[in-house]
Structure 1
Amino acid sequence: MEKVELLAPAGNLEKLKTAFVFGADAVYCGGLDFGLRAGAANFSLEELKEGLDYAHQRDKKVYLTLNMIPHNQELAELPEYIDKLKELALDGLIISDPGVFALVREKMPDIDIHISTQANNVNWASALFWAEQGAERVILARELSFEEIKEMAAKCRDKIELEVFIHGAMCISYSGRCLLSNYLVDRDANRGDCAQSCRWQYHLVEEQRPGEYYPIEENEQGTFIFNSRDLNLAEEIPELIELGLSSLKIEGRMKSVHYAATVVNTYRQIIDNYYQDPENYQPDQDLLAELRKISHRDYTKGFYYGKPGAEGQRYQSSSYLRSYDFMGVVKKNLKDKNEILVEVRNKIFKGNSLEVLSPGEKSYTIEVDYIIDSDGNQVEAAPHPKELIIIGTEKAVKTGSLLRREKNKADNGS
């Protein structure tokens, strides 16, 4: 059985490297133009080249998003941008617009093209149409049930690859084709500038009765009527693998390094555990619990078991659930001294209990026995983000590991 691809988001170069360190087979990222995440840092051409070199040295892949739905003025600039991309060894382009598809196919006839979820791929005939046009892969809409995905997989087998989302934010609008942001604040979601208007707080008021709100709110904070929960299909991974899908995709190019590392590490282990012994596979509850340690909204299975009802929404608030703080990155393991070199992200105190997230491993806890600052002095705390410090601890820690800390934990740093 050919192993399914684990595809991770990369909002910048650091997140790209983090995703690969923690087990992603491929990443998708955006350039400075023609993508759908204007709020992400995105990649210059020079950064793309560095990211591609990093990936290919590790036998990994990088796909670039070119999935904006451009207007005429943007389309005029596209040929020059494609010419620049020709100089890079990209593994594929993610495209939604037929005009963009045609231009890319003309200028880059050998590049693999993946049809974006923005193209509303919800049936097997659509997928086969794109196969006839020469697309390598179709990314399915998130509004599909398991039974629909199963039928598509059967109809499309050996004709075109299929990719599905397994984790991350859900869009209230069909496959992300949304006009709400454009209408309210003149920011076009289909051109990469969504204001996430669906996450705002709304009240219902009758036109002739300004100030008189209908009692639809769940509490005094109001009602978040478009606020979808986040997708989490960790328990459904075996079923999806058995369909013969080519790629399982994580959403989140604008999320943190901690998010990228935790989610990729979790799904990497779930996928590997399944392949090791498919017949006797059982979900690992410790791994499933990892996905509650990142910043997230309440989870949902989305459309997997059918159209979601009220349980697919969170009406009380659009804020994230955050139970852990990201404390630092382990830059080097000083094995001979039981010390680690750490780049600080949040204030670390002597005596803290820190949880370690290491590639390919379940998380575990270490104690901060002492801290040596960048001047070589022992200190009680390291308060400065990006500062390099040495932490004394009783266990060796892999280079590249992340350190996090449960909020409100009762130790010296509480």
Structure 2
Amino acid sequence: MRDIELLAPAGDLERLKAAIYYGADAVYIGGKRYGLRAGTNNFTIDEIKEGVRYAHARGKRVYLTLNIIPHNEDLVGLDEYIAATHDLGIDAYIVSDPGIFTLVKKVAPKAEIHISTQANNTNWMSALFWHNMGAKRVVLARELSISEIKEIRRNVPDTLELEAFVHGAMCISYSGRCLLSNFLTGRDANKGECTHPCRWKYYLVEEKRQGEYFPVFEDDRGSYIMNSKDLCMIEHLPELIDAGVSSLKIEGRSKGIYYVAVTVNAYRKALNSYMKDLESYRFDKSLLEELSEASTRDFTTGFYFGRPGPEEHNYNKDICRTSHDFIGIIRGYDRDKKLIKVEQRNRLFANEEVEVLTPHGVYPFNTGTLYDADFNEIDCAPHAQQTVWMKSEKEFAEFDVLRRKRV
């Protein structure tokens, strides 16, 4: 059985470290330019250097997105950027444009190149073209079915890796190529500035009745006519692997650290369980429940088992539900004093019952007495990212997460 990679998103250095801590084999990141998530913090050159060092020290890989659809001005300085990041040890570049592909081959001829889903990789001839040009991997379009992926795998060499999305937001435009954001707001989705107008409410206006708004459906909240459910394939990893996919990709470079922790942790457990015993594998349904504990829309399997129908959209809402509140992230443990150091993310109270999420399980925990950064006793931690100390006989590690179940 070939190695299967779990590939996680990392919008910044903290999320990169969290993704690796919770079990990602590789992470994909973006710099301050050239990637399709301009709204995230993204990485400076120095942060890329630290992220690569951190990942490589743990045997993990880092891929850098250069997947915009560029205009002429976007090419200025790109060669120097490729050279600088290649020297830092980037393991692969994710590109969608033939011009950027050519430039990477020229500046860093030995660099590994992955072809982004933005390149509309929907058939084996396209995949074979990119492989013959020197690509190591093709990221498959989200619009493919399992049977189509199998056909691609049969018709391309084993030396070409196939990567597919398994979790995260779905785009209503073909392989993410969308002009709606540009048309409505002037922000170009193909250059990383999407405003997600597919998630907005829409009403009808009759030409001669300006100011009178009619819901597309009879609902006083309007209608979310393009609002797709989120992709979730955690129950179907065996089918994807059997189809020939070797990298399982989680979407979400714009998502927070709690999403990264919960999602990577759940997929890591599912993948490990399957790879350990292929014949008698049974999916653990508690992992699906665990995924729902991060802020999420309803789930869909997308195009993998046929074309999506009306039930794959949320027409009446764009509500991200969650059963838990993310309240803190552990930053360290003082063994002598038996205290854990917590960075608060939402209001945290003394003597409340919470949970600690770790890669090894979820543990009930009472916060007990709280102490501020100067070890003064406090009743609650109301300030954003406030440092809090609390007693714990159990040693927890950095990036373990505190969360509170909603009543």
Which TM-score applies when normalising by structure 2?
0.96
Question: 2:141 is matched with which residue?
Answer: 141
- Does structure 1 residue 250 correspond to structure 2 residue 245? no
Residue 366 of structure 1 contacts residue 395 of structure 1 at CA under 8 Å; is this kept in 2?
Answer: no
Question: 1:392 is matched with which residue?
Answer: 391
Using the alignment, how far apart are the partners of 1:12 and 1:291 within structure 2?
21
Instruction: Deviation per CA, 1:51-105: give whole Å up to 9, x if none.
Output: 0000111111000000011111212332232232232211000000011111111
Question: 1:197 is matched with which residue?
Answer: 197
After TM superposition, list the pairs within 5 Å mapping 1:121-270 onto structure 2: 121-270=121-270
Instruction: Deviation per CA, 1:116-156: give whole Å up to 9, x if none.
Output: 00000011111011011000000001111111112212222
| 3-state DSSP of counterpart to 1:280 | coil
Question: 1:29 is matched with which residue?
Answer: 29
Residue 227 of structure 2 contacts residue 315 of structure 2 at CA under 8 Å; is this kept in 1?
Answer: yes
Using the alignment, how far apart are the partners of 2:97 and 2:130 within structure 1?
12
| 3-state DSSP of counterpart to 1:102 | helix
Gaps of 5+ in 1: 410-414
After TM superposition, list the pairs within 5 Å mapping 1:337-356 onto structure 2: 338-356=338-356
Using the alignment, how far apart are the partners of 1:215 and 1:384 within structure 2?
41
Question: 1:412 is matched with which residue?
Answer: none
- The 1:134–1:373 alpha-carbon spacing in structure 2 relative to 1, beyond 3 Å, is same
Using the alignment, how far apart are the partners of 2:76 and 2:335 within structure 1?
56
- Segment drifting more, 159-168 vs 67-76: 67-76
After TM superposition, list the pairs within 5 Å mapping 1:300-339 onto structure 2: 300-335=300-335, 338-339=338-339
Using the alignment, how far apart are the partners of 2:19 and 2:251 within structure 1?
12
Q: How far apart are 1:281 and its partner, in Å?
A: 0.8
| 3-state DSSP of counterpart to 1:158 | coil
Instruction: Deviation per CA, 1:10-38: give whole Å up to 9, x if none.
Output: 10000000000111000000011111110
| 3-state DSSP of counterpart to 2:279 | helix
| 3-state DSSP of counterpart to 1:130 | helix
Superposition CA RMSD, Å: 1.5
| 3-state DSSP of counterpart to 1:198 | helix
Q: How far apart are 1:261 and its partner, in Å?
A: 0.6
Residue 26 of structure 1 contacts residue 62 of structure 1 at CA under 8 Å; is this kept in 2?
Answer: yes
Residue 169 of structure 1 contacts residue 230 of structure 1 at CA under 8 Å; is this kept in 2?
Answer: yes
- Segment drifting more, 201-210 vs 246-255: 201-210
Instruction: Deviation per CA, 1:197-236: give whole Å up to 9, x if none.
Output: 1111111223233244445225211001111111000100
Residue 146 of structure 2 contacts residue 243 of structure 2 at CA under 8 Å; is this kept in 1?
Answer: no
Using the alignment, how far apart are the partners of 1:383 and 1:208 within structure 2?
52
| 3-state DSSP of counterpart to 1:143 | coil
Using the alignment, how far apart are the partners of 2:134 and 2:73 within structure 1?
27
Gaps of 5+ in 2: none
Using the alignment, how far apart are the partners of 1:61 and 1:388 within structure 2?
31
Using the alignment, how far apart are the partners of 2:15 and 2:192 within structure 1?
20
Q: How far apart are 1:157 and its partner, in Å?
A: 4.4
Q: How far apart are 1:312 and its partner, in Å?
A: 1.2
| 3-state DSSP of counterpart to 2:404 | strand
Q: How far apart are 1:159 and its partner, in Å?
A: 3.7
- Segment drifting more, 30-39 vs 317-326: 317-326
After TM superposition, list the pairs within 5 Å mapping 1:82-121 onto structure 2: 82-121=82-121
Using the alignment, how far apart are the partners of 2:336 and 2:48 within structure 1?
37
Q: How far apart are 1:321 and its partner, in Å?
A: 1.3
| Residue identity matched to 1:388 | T
Which TM-score applies when normalising by structure 1?
0.95
| 3-state DSSP of counterpart to 2:70 | coil
| Residue identity matched to 1:62 | V
| Residue identity matched to 1:355 | E
Using the alignment, how far apart are the partners of 2:119 and 2:152 within structure 1?
16
Using the alignment, how far apart are the partners of 1:278 and 1:10 within structure 2?
30
Question: 2:365 is matched with which residue?
Answer: 366
Q: How far apart are 1:260 and its partner, in Å?
A: 0.5
Q: How far apart are 1:384 and its partner, in Å?
A: 2.1
| Residue identity matched to 1:385 | A
| Residue identity matched to 1:256 | G
Question: 1:44 is matched with which residue?
Answer: 44
Using the alignment, how far apart are the partners of 2:75 and 2:208 within structure 1?
44
Q: How many residues align?
A: 407
